[in-house]
């Protein structure tokens, strides 16, 4: 091999390497969904751990509202959190749309409140009309007696903070 061929081979290797890297980057960006692409309701449903919440939002006629422009901050109780609530209480709420709406709206704050912002607050005004208390204990955010177990789940119209307990106004 002569010295004249080395720059050509180097250029070919470089071009091939760049081509593979570009193709790999393109494949990664087109197959992985962007965070915050779905609204808060769609994000909760996609998570798979909010079936009870999603069902009650439908029953209360609030799913459409929370699919709207927002922004909203939702303190979302998991199915495990709902399992802690007595069945009679859940059945009563499901039958009384006014009370159900009040309980669900107590989990929603207007605006996008991140965990970092929530840690600086003492309370937040809910869409139900009453404020919910917020405090920090042991480095964890406590909202109305419920612990935030996963924070800052981004959605296109707000943010979800996963909580371990149903909030009752």
**Nearest alpha carbon to residue 153 among 68, 31, 38, 33:** 38
* Residue 122 and residue 57 share a domain: yes
CATH number for the domain that contains residue 102: 2.30.180.10
* Residue 117 and residue 100 share a domain: yes
pLDDT at 26: 32
Is 169 inside any structural domain? no
pLDDT exceeding 90 applies to what percent of the chain? 75
Instruction: Identify the weakest region by mean pLDDT among 6-10, 68-72, 139-143.
Output: 6-10
Looking at the predicted structure, is the pLDDT value of residue 4 above 90? no
Q: How far apart are CA 154 and CA 151, in angstroms?
A: 9
Q: Are strands 123-125 and 131-137 parallel, antiparallel or unpaired?
A: antiparallel
* Residue 146 and residue 106 share a domain: yes
* Residue 134 and residue 152 share a domain: yes
Is 168 inside any structural domain? no
How does residue 94 score in pLDDT terms, banded at 50, 70 and 90?
confident
* Residue 103 and residue 84 share a domain: yes
Q: For residues 32 and 75, which has the higher predicted lDDT (pLDDT)?
A: 75
Q: How far apart are CA 104 and CA 60, in angstroms?
A: 8
Is 87 inside any structural domain? yes
* Residue 137 and residue 59 share a domain: yes
Looking at the predicted structure, is the pLDDT value of residue 31 above 80? no
| pLDDT per position as a tens digit, 141-160 | 999 999 999 999 999 999 99
pLDDT at 36: 63
Looking at the predicted structure, is the pLDDT value of residue 9 above 50? no
Segments forming the whole domain that contains residue 4:
1-32
The shares of helix, strand and coil residues in the chain, as percent rounded to the nearest 5, are 45, 25, 30
Number of domains in the chain: 2
* Residue 13 and residue 54 share a domain: no
* Residue 90 and residue 15 share a domain: no
* Residue 113 and residue 72 share a domain: yes
* Residue 152 and residue 83 share a domain: yes
């Amino acid at each position: 091999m002569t010295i004249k061929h080395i720059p050509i081979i180097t250029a070919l290797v470089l071009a091939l390497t760049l081509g593979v890297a570009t193709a790999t980057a393109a494949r990664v960006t087109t197959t992985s969904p962007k965070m915050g692409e779905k609204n808060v309701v769609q994000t909760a449903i996609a998570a798979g751990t909010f079936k009870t919440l999603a069902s009650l939002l439908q029953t209360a006629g609030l799913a459409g509202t929370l699919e709207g422009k927002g922004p909203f901050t939702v303190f979302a109780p998991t199915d495990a959190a709902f399992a802690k609530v007595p069945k009679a209480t859940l059945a009563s709420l499901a039958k009384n749309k006014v009370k159900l709406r009040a309980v669900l709206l107590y989990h929603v704050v207007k605006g996008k409140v991140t965990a970092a912002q929530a840690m600086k607050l003492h309370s937040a005004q809910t869409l139900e009309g009453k404020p919910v208390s917020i405090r920090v204990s042991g480095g964890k955010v406590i909202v109305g007696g419920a612990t935030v177990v996963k924070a800052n789940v981004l959605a296109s119209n707000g943010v979800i903070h996963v909580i371990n307990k149903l909030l009752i106004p």
